[in-house]
Amino acid sequence: MEIRIFIFSDFHIIGRVKMQHRHRNRFSYIYIGGNLDFRIDGYMIITVTSYKGGVGKTTTAIHLAAYLQRLAPTLLVDGDAIRSATKWSKRGGDTGLPFKVVTHAQMVNHIRDFTHIIIDTEGNPTDDDFRDLAENCDLLVIPAVPESVATDGLIHTLAKLRSLGNKAHRVLLTMVPPKPRTEGQQLRDVLNSEGIPVFASKIPRLAAFEKAAAEGVPVYAVKDDRNAARAWDAYEAAAKEVVHG
């Protein structure tokens, strides 16, 4: 099974582009105006989004791509206005990231050569964009930091999903502080009590992720940090949940 993972939040499309997968004629994308329409036969579309920025969407995009690259050729499309993923990639040079990173403008020229696609964009999508995203994917992954300001954004995101009648979503707890602090478990308990699906995996708050961004590599390649392996294990576990459900 092939996975299409889209990290989305403020994705604008102009004009009409139609692309056919080079290796599988049954797969095509159709982009029309500001709407995003997918025609999929036997594949999954995963959207990662939030109304709150700074919750680890780019870090999530990088590490989901790193995991999926081990399964099949993976492309990361950087839609962030400040090009966070592109800068991450450039800092690592030719050997930093194990997958290709391109901009939206370059996407059309590359997308047909890859099995897995991840799109990383800014936070705070417009209501219209959010509706299009929710209606055109198999699963919405919502990164959430267990702190009051970020939780406000999560509540807004979940309220929008409820108003749309969308049930295909799951929250990923990110930047979770270590014990004895309990914010992560408290947020998980609240979400569980409300019947909101949550990843079993959680992403810890670790300096290793900042080092990975500075070095332009996935966190598993960070040198001289004893927490780098634990940081990677967390994203690997989350990625396996995406792939296997």
User: What are the chain's domains?
Assistant: 3-244 (3.40.50.300)
pLDDT for the residue numbered 41: 36
- What would the two tokens of residue 97 be? 């990231």
Q: Which letter, b or e, does each residue of 156-167 get, where b requires 16 or more Cβ atoms within 10 Å of its Cβ? A: ebbebbeeeebe
Strands (DSSP E) contained in 27-152 are 28-32, 35-39, 44-48, 74-78, 100-103, 116-120, 139-144
- Quick one: CA dihedral 156, 53, 171, 64, positive or negative? positive
pLDDT at 132 over 50: yes
Which among 77, 71, 72, 82 is positioned nearest to 29, based on CA atoms? 77
Write out the two tokens for 61: 């995009």
Note the pLDDT of residue 2.
52
pLDDT at 32: 31
Instruction: State both tokens at 43.
Output: 């594949």
Q: What does the alpha-carbon distance between residue 173 and residue 55 come to, in Å, rounded to a whole number?
A: 9
For residues 20 and 139, which has the higher predicted lDDT (pLDDT)? 139
> Is the Cβ–Cβ distance between 135 and 164 less than 8 Å?
yes
Query: What are 196-243's pLDDT values in tens digits?
Result: 999 999 999 999 999 999 999 999 999 999 999 999 999 999 999 988
pLDDT computed for residue 148 by the predictor: 76
What's the confidence (pLDDT) of residue 44?
A: 54
pLDDT tens for 14-51 read 232 333 333 333 333 333 333 334 333 334 567 777 77
> Who wins on pLDDT, 236 or 13?
236
pTM: 0.80
Strand-pair partners of 30: 18, 37
Res. 9 pLDDT band, cuts 50 70 90: very low
